[in-house]
């Protein structure tokens, strides 16, 4: 059983990955997506989205960071995947779930779910371009506006040589808040021989246990729950291994928040640090009542310098 940290553009960056993997429980992370268009991207683009490439593609505690690519042109996806691997990526993941209208209009992300043959061609080209010991995976939703092709899409990735698939158990039309349809993960899991990583609405140890039971998937990926409960993966791991563990209390979580702010001071503008602190508090509010109080205190403050005392 493995727990992966989900890619979240603008939220799970290298700092957040570093913090969460240090707490523990995650076997791997996936980077925010790198947009592939009509050329091989410069090295600095890969390094900006995954500075971990400077350290063997791993977070400071040694957790691999798989590089995620988003694009619709098989040859360009293959060439950029190859480049990422040359730079030290420990795996390549392909984004077939992005719901953005702008992205979908260019036949990328979730729009590709309308045609399993497109998924097949992209995964096949990437798999061929990348050395065999580097895993190639795909991250799918259940479909574009319905679930009709959910199994066909998964099979297309498998037949193209994908090593595993992560399925966000919602269609594009479901957005982010429609309850995740874990029962669909079971159908996909039963129809495929490669590993299916379950994703969507795993926000507690109880959710994890129920998701595994309903989906039959051994492996999971956690997104928003990982930000809302920074030690969620550790809680799950300890529960699985029958290890007694006291979940983090607000004081510890608040310390993380503070540490993140401090770590950004050198190279990020004060107002942007403030925005990131507020963003994280919005996620934390769901599980920690104190986060709501903290958010109320700092909401009118414009930067981190002003927030420090309140935190």
Ligand X SMILES: Cc1cc2nc3c(=O)[nH]c(=O)nc-3n(C[C@H](O)[C@H](O)[C@H](O)COP(=O)(O)O)c2cc1C
Q: In the complex, which residues of this chain contact ligand X (CB under 6 A)? A: 6-11, 32-33, 68, 95, 97, 139, 168, 176, 199-202, 222-225
| Bridge partners, 111 (sequence order) | none
Q: How far is the CB of 272 from ligand X (least distance, A)?
A: 16
Rounded to an integer, what distance in angstroms lies between the CA atom of residue 218 and that of residue 195? 8
Q: Per the residue annotation, which of 29, 98, 238, 294 is the catalytic one?
A: 98
H/E stretch holding 196: strand 195-199
Q: How far is the CB of 251 from ligand X (least distance, A)?
A: 25
Length of the chain: 311
Q: Residue 69 in contact with residue 32, Cβ under 8 Å?
A: no
Q: How far is the CB of 144 from ligand X (least distance, A)?
A: 15
| Cα–chain center distance at 305 | 30
Active-site residue 254, yes or no? Answer: no
Comparing CB distances to ligand X, the nearer of 286 and 297 is: 286
Comparing CB distances to ligand X, the nearer of 64 and 132 is: 64
Q: How far is the CB of 13 from ligand X (least distance, A)?
A: 11
Residues in CB range of 262: below 8 A, 6 or more apart:
none
CA distances from 133 to 36, 85, 246 (A): 23, 11, 38
Comparing CB distances to ligand X, the nearer of 18 and 200 is: 200
Comparing CB distances to ligand X, the nearer of 12 and 156 is: 12
Task: Provide the angle, in degrees to the nearest 10, between the axes of the packed helices 232-240 and 14-23.
Answer: 30
Q: Which residue in the shown chain puts its C-beta closest to ligand X? A: 223
H/E stretch holding 67: strand 65-70
And the tokens for 91?
A: 């795996």
DSSP-assigned letter for residue 96: E
Comparing CB distances to ligand X, the nearer of 10 and 62 is: 10
Comparing CB distances to ligand X, the nearer of 58 and 198 is: 198
Comparing CB distances to ligand X, the nearer of 209 and 305 is: 209
Q: Which residues of 85-97 are buried (b: 16+ CB within 10 A; e: fewer)?
A: beebbbbbbbbbb
Q: How far is the CB of 219 from ligand X (least distance, A)?
A: 13
H/E stretch holding 221: strand 219-222
Q: How far is the CB of 140 from ligand X (least distance, A)?
A: 9
* Residue located via tokens 């799970």: 12
Q: Residue 208 in contact with residue 226, Cβ under 8 Å?
A: no
What number of CA atoms fall less than 13 Å from residue 242's CA on the CB side?
A: 0
Q: How far is the CB of 134 from ligand X (least distance, A)?
A: 19
Residues in CB range of 37: below 8 A, 6 or more apart:
71, 73, 76
Active site residues: 98
């Amino acid at each position: 059983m493995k727990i992966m940290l989900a890619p979240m553009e603008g939220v799970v960056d290298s700092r957040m990955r570093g913090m969460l993997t240090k707490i523990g429980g995650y076997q791997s992370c996936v980077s925010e997506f790198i947009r592939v268009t009509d050329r091989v991207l410069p090295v600095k683009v890969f390094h900006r989205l995954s500075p971990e490439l400077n350290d063997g593609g791993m977070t400071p505690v040694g957790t691999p960071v798989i590089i995620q690519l988003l694009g619709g042109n098989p040859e360009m996806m293959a060439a950029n995947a190859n480049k990422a691997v040359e730079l030290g990526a420990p795996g390549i993941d392909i984004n077939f779930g992005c719901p953005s209208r702008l992205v979908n209009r260019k036949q990328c992300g979730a729009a590709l779910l309308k045609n399993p043959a497109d998924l097949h061609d992209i995964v096949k080209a990437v798999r061929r371009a990348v050395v065999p010991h580097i895993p190639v995976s795909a991250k799918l939703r259940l479909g574009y506006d319905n679930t009709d092709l959910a199994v066909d899409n998964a099979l297309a990735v498998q037949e193209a040589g994908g090593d595993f698939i992560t399925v966000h158990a919602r269609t594009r039309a479901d957005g982010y808040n429609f309850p995740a349809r874990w029962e669909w993960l079971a159908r996909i899991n039963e129809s495929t021989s490669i590993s299916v990583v379950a994703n969507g609405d795993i926000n507690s140890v109880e959710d994890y246990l129920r998701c595994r039971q309903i989906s039959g998937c051994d492996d999971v990926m956690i997104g928003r729950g990982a930000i809302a409960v920074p030690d969620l993966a550790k809680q799950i791991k300890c529960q699985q291994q029958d290890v007694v563990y006291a979940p983090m209390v607000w004081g510890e979580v608040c310390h993380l928040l503070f540490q993140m702010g401090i770590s950004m001071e050198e190279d990020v503008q004060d107002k942007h640090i403030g925005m990131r602190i507020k963003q994280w508090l919005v996620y934390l509010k769901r599980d920690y009542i104190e986060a709501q109080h903290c958010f109320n205190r700092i909401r009118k403050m414009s930067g981190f310098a002003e927030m420090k005392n309140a935190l």
